[in-house]
Amino acid sequence: METLTALAGGFSVALTPVNLLWSLAGVTLGTAVGVLPGIGPALTVALLLPVTYSLDPTPAFIMFAGIYYGGMYGGSTTSILLNMPGESASVMTAVEGHLMARAGRGGAALATAAIGSFVAGTLATAALTVSAPAMVELALRFGPAEYFALAVLAFVAVAAVLGESRLHGFASLLFGLLLGIIGIDPLTGVPRLTFGIPQLLDGIDVVVVAVGLFAVGEVLYSASRKSVDPEIVTFRAAPWMTRSDWARSWGPWLRGAAIGFPLGALPTGGAEIPTFLSYAVERRLAGNHGEFGRGAIEGVAGPEAANNASAAGALVPLLALGLPTTATAAVMLAAFQQYGLQPGPLLFQHEPRLVWGLIASLYVGNLMLLVLNLPLVGVWVRLLTIPRPFLHASILVLSSAGAYSVNRSAFDVGMLYAIGGIGYLMRCHSIPLAPAIIGVILGPMAEQQLRRALAIGEGSPVVLVTRPVSALLLVVAVVLVVAPAVVARLRRRHRPA
Amino acid sequence: MAARLSVAVAVLMATAFVRTEAAAQNDASTPAPRPLRNLTIIAPAAPGGGWDQLAREMQREIDRQRLAAGVQVENVPGAAGTIGLAQLINGRRGDGEALLVNGLVMLGAILWNQSPVSLAQVTPIARLTGEYEIVAVPANSPHRDMRSLVAALRANPAAVSWGGGSAGGTDHLLAGLIVAAAGLDPRRTNYIAFSGGGEAVTALIGGQVTAGISGYSEFAQHIESGRLRAIAISAPRGASDLEVPSLVEQGLDVELANWRAVVAPPGLTEGQREALTAVVERMAHSESWRGTLNRLGWTDSYLAGPAFERFLDSERIRIGRIVARLRGSADGTSAPQVGEWLFPALVLGACAIVLALIVLGRSTSGRDRAAKNAPVVRVALGLVASAALLDPMGFVPSGTVLFACTASAFGSRRRLRDIVLGLTLCAVVYVAFTDGLGVALPAGVLFGRR
């Protein structure tokens, strides 16, 4: 009850007309910036930090929350329409979303992404309101062993996206793992596979890999087939979600939110694993009858919902422990400190007005996102009516600018093109692209956490199974691997009878 | 067309928005004449970390006191700041309008990674802040002081895991110093490097590691809320007003401060150096800077001129010695850690097997017969040309070449129109990124260095 009163107080702060305007400004700016690959919400918030010198804390944070959500959503727009994931969390959206856009269902894909983001973001913010302290206790039980088990689970789950040929999927995954090794080994500080090139010391940014494989590879591939490839259809039938789209979307939205929020709350969770898992869940639920591989709306609705829910989840450790777990949260922490506020368990007691105002502004930001983006869906889809020579040329120019901005380095642009060339060759030989990205993201995490877990356990792998959470996750992973085979065998045995 | 317009409008809005904010801060009164008109403070890290925070606080302070005009912060992240350092040394020689934020972490990384660039190659300006390190344990830990932790360490060094920041960083150095001071081989330090302070603190609160090492500000609120217990500080005896006994007081001869400083590019004239030092000194000696340090919990450790140069030299020698002892060569006595080459070896082996399988099964995967090579070659040429032109010529010419090549590969036959369109797009992107987002794309010949 106390919580609800506090939240109502928060809304009375957030819903003043001036603060609504700040929220709108934040969401607009965030979306505009999120559309650009390589420029994420963290940079935008950092850029606007000086604003805090002249602004009260409440409107400033309301605007930052808007940027955060807007940036998350902006990345999915380009994933769907241009196959250009603006950030690693929207890679899974590109897989089915772009297929939908090519089939003339870009409007429905954008709409389910926007509404799914809203639904999941609102649910997750509600969960943040009631369960932040409990989530923190859960998150604290996650040590290296648990993160390793979670990564193993994600690997097993996404085996589904390995494509038609297991071998090809595996090749792609290995390519990603290899790219992920490049750079300074964080545990020992030893450079690996950097060949003495200083720009490689920090590894290859995931955004460069994703944009290279997807966007640049796609342009090259289209060029090779321009005479045989049919023009991209802008609209086939309804530009909007049909009744069946709605029916197929709400389940993934809810499941995405349920996956995204708790994983987002983990201190090193990030937004990627929830999107992988959500995609894998939807794909398994759809079975062989679904449209997966040809543009399934479930494959957009789920990951998008998971992405937005995890963004709200990331605020749990920030508000409750003062621990920034994403770059954006780190910048927001800096902003808190700008006002002499120290986020953490004491913040709820010392500055209730601000905390609940911020939580209320998350609800408002979500609503603003929907208000801003739904009317724009039709406009965005018309991007595809740009004549193909200019569309593809613009994609390359924007990708280059985005890749440059990641590390302010021309080397990354060259890297982007090289990876784009590899992406083209992979497509020519029907090797799927998504497993490579999964390898880049999950590989380093799995390796480091395993090595940390082993070091803490004095070199003994027993720690992986003696800790309950880790053991549970590993059991689920084993079941996922073994169950289909067992079920198939049982069926075979029963059939002759 | 409508779509393109709306994108342009959105970008312009973003630009205008940020600009008015900037203008609102600068135009409060007419600026007085001053030597520095274009000061860039380089934070060699991503937004959000300590160096970025120091750079932005300096920007704010110098701006407010009108010590220099047009102060900008530029983030050059990478390799514990050594990418930014290399850029300062190679790209800004003689530039009297640039400062680079750095510190002990960068010095450690240079020595740890045997980096080709070093802090001896730049112009030292001043040390600004220092922060002592805290050794903390979770609230439910059996260790209440260093004595019991050291006893556990002596019983079995591998059983004591230390959590902290990146390998070769301040936290790692302190762990090694403590183990050495306890009379053990520092190579046996079971140090678990986490990326970022937040991750390490969470692991410590969750009891995943035996002890954690970090700056006081990272631990402060968790010590206050009772989740963590501070058992030692790396300050000299009596130098800290915190209620935590120093390592020295507990019988370990170890002192370490995580200092942060600013340096300038090499090849400056005496005048340029004095101008930069004057700005930094006036900032550091102001009342409001003291307020900023207090607010952030940083300690003032201002040191400039020859004294700062001597300090840098002595730190280089001292840290170099620790690093050499920590690295050593792996033998039977090292920590219980899996080597860094096991996983790459596994992946490379698997790659070889998969490649072999794919090559053996070649017959099944035929190349797309409909594919045409000529347009691909044309796009590829555009990519190669644009990558080659990016740094020498700048973003706009390089992007225009790319645009024109790609458009022609997709069948556009009107060269001039393509070039004009490409030029327009690139100019808009350039302005939006450089002025709107603060991400300076390569300016090249057309715009010149601003």
Please check the confidence at residue B28 and state whether its pLDDT lies above 50: no
B156–chain A nearest CA distance, Å: 10
- Kindly tell me the burial class for residue A377, based on how many C-beta atoms sit within 10 Å of its own C-beta (0-12, 13-18, 19 or more): buried
Q: Considering only residues B77 and A426, tell me which one the structure prediction assigns the higher pLDDT.
A: A426
Could you please report the per-residue DSSP string of B402-425? HHHHHHHHTT---HHHHHHHHHHH
Yes or no, beta carbons of A407 and B78 under 8 Å apart = yes
d(CA A458, CA B330): 16
Q: What pLDDT does B63 receive? A: 84
When CB atoms are compared, the residue of A53, A323, A392 closest to B202 is A323
Q: A4-18, A206-220, B321-335, B413-427: which has the minimum mean pLDDT? A: B321-335
* B5, B192, B434: best to mutate for the A interface, most A CBs within 10 A: B192
Backbone φ, ψ for residue A255 (5° rounding): -65, -40
Q: B91-105, B316-330, B433-447: which has the minimum mean pLDDT? A: B433-447
Q: What pLDDT does A348 receive? A: 66
Query: B404: number of CA atoms within 13 Å, CB side?
Result: 17
Pick from A29, A254, A282: nearest CA to A126: A254
pLDDT tens-digit series, residues B326-362: 876 544 456 667 778 888 999 999 999 988 888 887 6
Q: How far apart are the first and last CA of chain B?
A: 33
If phi over 0 gives left and psi between -120 and 50 gives alpha, with beta otherwise, what is residue B170?
Answer: alpha
Largest pairwise CA distance in chain B: 80
pLDDT tens-digit series, residues A392-413: 899 899 899 988 887 778 899 9
Helix or strand holding residue A199 (H, E): none
* B410, B428, B434: best to mutate for the A interface, most A CBs within 10 A: B410
B76 neighbourhood in chain A, CB within 8 Å: 407-408
A185 neighbourhood in chain B, CB within 8 Å: 167, 340
| Size of chain A, expressed as the number of residues it contains | 497
Please name the residue of chain B whose CA is at the shortest distance from the CA of residue A201: B79
Q: A303-307, A432-436, B250-254: which has the minimum mean pLDDT? A: A432-436
Yes or no, beta carbons of B3 and A28 under 8 Å apart = no
Task: pLDDT band for A430, please (50, 70, 90 cuts).
Answer: confident
> Please, are residues B116 and A198 in contact by the beta-carbon 8 Å criterion?
yes
State which of A230-244, A258-272, A412-426, B55-69 shows the largest mean pLDDT: A412-426
Yes or no, beta carbons of A184 and B113 under 8 Å apart = yes
Write out the two tokens for A484: 């289909």
d(CA B169, CA B181): 18
Q: What pLDDT does B21 receive? A: 41
Please check the confidence at residue A93 and state whether its pLDDT lies above 70: yes
Residues 6+ apart with CB under 8 A from B68: B34, B35, B36, B37, B39, B62, B279
Yes or no, beta carbons of A189 and B52 under 8 Å apart = no
Write out the two tokens for A270: 């990030």
Task: pLDDT band for B422, please (50, 70, 90 cuts).
Answer: very high
When CB atoms are compared, the residue of A31, A345, A398 closest to B429 is A398
> Please, are residues B71 and B61 in contact by the beta-carbon 8 Å criterion?
no
- Kindly tell me the burial class for residue B251, based on how many C-beta atoms sit within 10 Å of its own C-beta (0-12, 13-18, 19 or more): exposed
- What per-residue string of b and e applies to A229-267 under the rule 16 or more CB within 10 Å gives b? eeebebbeeebebeeebeebbeebbbbbbbbbbbbbbbb
Task: pLDDT band for B369, please (50, 70, 90 cuts).
Answer: low
Helix or strand holding residue B440 (H, E): none
When CB atoms are compared, the residue of B2, B208, B406 closest to A379 is B2
Give CA separation, A13 vs A25, A320, B159, in Å.
17, 21, 51
A187–chain B nearest CA distance, Å: 5
* B354, B359, B360, B378: best to mutate for the A interface, most A CBs within 10 A: B354
- For strand B161-164 and strand A191-192, is the pairing parallel, antiparallel, or unpaired? unpaired
d(CA A371, CA B443): 38
pLDDT tens-digit series, residues A157-193: 776 566 667 788 888 889 999 999 998 887 887 888 8
Write out the two tokens for A378: 């039709």
Helix (H, G, I), strand (E, B) or coil at A478: helix
Q: Considering only residues B251 and B196, tell me which one the structure prediction assigns the higher pLDDT.
A: B251
Yes or no, beta carbons of A337 and B295 under 8 Å apart = yes
Pick from A282, A273, A276: nearest CA to A255: A282
Q: A28-32, A118-122, B401-405: which has the minimum mean pLDDT? A: A28-32
Reported in sequence order, the residue ranges of B220-285 that DSSP labels E, i.e. its strands, are 228-233, 260-264
Q: What pLDDT does B18 receive? A: 42
Sign (positive or negative) of CA dihedral B363, B365, B371, B374? negative
Yes or no, beta carbons of A410 and B442 under 8 Å apart = yes
One-letter identity of residue B108:
G
Write out the two tokens for A476: 């689920």
Q: Sheet harboring B161-164: ordered strands across?
A: B190-193, B161-164, B211-215, B133-138, B228-233
Does residue B17 sit at the A interface (CB-CB below 8 Å)? yes
Yes or no, beta carbons of B440 and A385 under 8 Å apart = no
pLDDT (mean) for B191-215: 85
d(CA B440, CA B443): 8
Please check the confidence at residue B72 and state whether its pLDDT lies above 90: no
Please check the confidence at residue B260 and state whether its pLDDT lies above 80: yes
B361 neighbourhood in chain A, CB within 8 Å: 167
Write out the two tokens for A413: 């642009």
pLDDT tens-digit series, residues A348-389: 666 777 777 777 877 888 888 888 878 877 777 777 778 888
Yes or no, beta carbons of A39 and B437 under 8 Å apart = yes
Yes or no, beta carbons of A455 and B379 under 8 Å apart = no
- Token match 């330090």: residue? B189
pLDDT tens-digit series, residues A100-140: 988 888 889 999 998 998 899 889 988 887 777 777 777 78
Does residue B450 sit at the A interface (CB-CB below 8 Å)? no
Task: pLDDT band for A2, please (50, 70, 90 cuts).
Answer: low
Does residue B221 sit at the A interface (CB-CB below 8 Å)? yes
Task: pLDDT band for A268, please (50, 70, 90 cuts).
Answer: low
| CA B170 to centroid of chain Cα atoms | 14
Question: Which residue pairs from A457-460 have beta carbons closer than 8 angstroms and sit at least 24 positions apart in sequence?
Answer: A457/A145, A458/B158, A458/B159, A458/B190, A458/B336, A459/B158, A459/B336, A459/B337, A459/B338
Please check the confidence at residue B13 and state whether its pLDDT lies above 50: no
Q: What pLDDT does A497 receive? A: 47
A398 neighbourhood in chain B, CB within 8 Å: 429
Please name the residue of chain B whose CA is at the shortest distance from the CA of residue A184: B79
Reported in sequence order, the residue ranges of B139-259 that DSSP labels E, i.e. its strands, are 161-164, 190-193, 211-215, 228-233
Yes or no, beta carbons of B390 and A404 under 8 Å apart = yes
**Mean pLDDT of chain A, nearest integer:** 82
> Please, are residues A48 and A63 in contact by the beta-carbon 8 Å criterion?
yes
pLDDT (mean) for A214-228: 82
Backbone φ, ψ for residue B211 (5° rounding): -140, 155
State which of A364-378, B47-61, B156-170, B190-204 shows the largest mean pLDDT: B156-170
pLDDT tens-digit series, residues B39-68: 889 888 876 677 888 888 888 888 888 888
Write out the two tokens for B61: 């302070």
Please name the residue of chain A whose CA is at the shortest distance from the CA of residue B9: A32
> Please, are residues A30 and A24 in contact by the beta-carbon 8 Å criterion?
no
> Please, are residues B191 and B176 in contact by the beta-carbon 8 Å criterion?
yes
When CB atoms are compared, the residue of B53, B159, B408 closest to A458 is B159
Q: What pLDDT does B32 receive? A: 37
Q: What pLDDT does A354 receive? A: 73
Please check the confidence at residue A321 and state whether its pLDDT lies above 80: no
pLDDT tens-digit series, residues B224-240: 888 899 999 998 877 66
Largest pairwise CA distance in chain A: 79
Q: What pLDDT does B2 receive? A: 43
Yes or no, beta carbons of A405 and B439 under 8 Å apart = yes
Q: A442-451, A476-485, B362-371: which has the minimum mean pLDDT? A: B362-371
d(CA B320, CA B112): 8
**Mean pLDDT of chain B, nearest integer:** 82
Q: Considering only residues A311 and A333, tell me which one the structure prediction assigns the higher pLDDT.
A: A311
Backbone φ, ψ for residue A86 (5° rounding): -75, -20
Please check the confidence at residue A428 and state whether its pLDDT lies above 50: yes
B351 neighbourhood in chain A, CB within 8 Å: 174-175, 178
State which of A195-199, A232-236, B302-306, B334-338 shows the largest mean pLDDT: B302-306
Task: pLDDT band for B312, please (50, 70, 90 cuts).
Answer: very high
ipTM for the predicted complex comes to 0.83
Please name the residue of chain B whose CA is at the shortest distance from the CA of residue A31: B10
Q: Considering only residues A55 and B107, tell me which one the structure prediction assigns the higher pLDDT.
A: B107
Report how many Cβ contacts below 8 Å link chain A to chain B: 344
Pick from B175, B161, B51, B56: nearest CA to B104: B51
Query: B273: number of CA atoms within 13 Å, CB side?
Result: 16
Strand partners, B40: B72, B98
Q: What pLDDT does A424 receive? A: 93
State which of A3-17, A284-298, B169-183 shows the largest mean pLDDT: B169-183
When CB atoms are compared, the residue of B161, B198, B406 closest to A393 is B406
Yes or no, beta carbons of A322 and B24 under 8 Å apart = no
Helix or strand holding residue B8 (H, E): helix B2-26
pLDDT tens-digit series, residues A210-220: 889 988 998 99
CB contact residues (below 8 A), chain B span 110-169, against chain A: 112-113, 115-116, 158-159, 161, 166-168
Yes or no, beta carbons of B201 and A323 under 8 Å apart = yes
A5–chain B nearest CA distance, Å: 25
Please check the confidence at residue B5 and state whether its pLDDT lies above 50: no
B18–chain A nearest CA distance, Å: 8
Does residue B403 sit at the A interface (CB-CB below 8 Å)? yes
Q: A286-295, A435-444, B379-388: which has the minimum mean pLDDT? A: A286-295
Please check the confidence at residue A196 and state whether its pLDDT lies above 60: yes
Give CA separation, B154 vs B175, B336, B380, in Å.
14, 15, 61
Yes or no, beta carbons of A201 and B113 under 8 Å apart = yes
Q: What pLDDT does A269 receive? A: 61
- Interhelix angle B50-64/A327-338, nearest 10 degrees: 40
Q: What pLDDT does A180 receive? A: 92
A435–chain B nearest CA distance, Å: 14
DSSP tally for chain A: helices H, then strands E: 23, 2
When CB atoms are compared, the residue of A186, A324, A396 closest to B198 is A324
Give the whole-number percent of chain B exceeding pLDDT 70: 85
Please check the confidence at residue B86 and state whether its pLDDT lies above 50: yes
Pick from B326, B47, B243, B86: nearest CA to A44: B47
Yes or no, beta carbons of B411 and A226 under 8 Å apart = yes
B225 neighbourhood in chain A, CB within 8 Å: 344-346
pLDDT (mean) for B63-84: 80
A169–chain B nearest CA distance, Å: 10
Q: Considering only residues A57 and A437, tell me which one the structure prediction assigns the higher pLDDT.
A: A437
Q: A39-53, A142-156, A440-454, B250-264: which has the minimum mean pLDDT? A: A39-53
Does residue B443 sit at the A interface (CB-CB below 8 Å)? no
* A28, A216, A232, A321: best to mutate for the B interface, most B CBs within 10 A: A321
| CA A196 to centroid of chain Cα atoms | 32
List helix spans (H) across B361-414: 373-393, 395-409
B23 neighbourhood in chain A, CB within 8 Å: none
d(CA B220, CA B197): 13
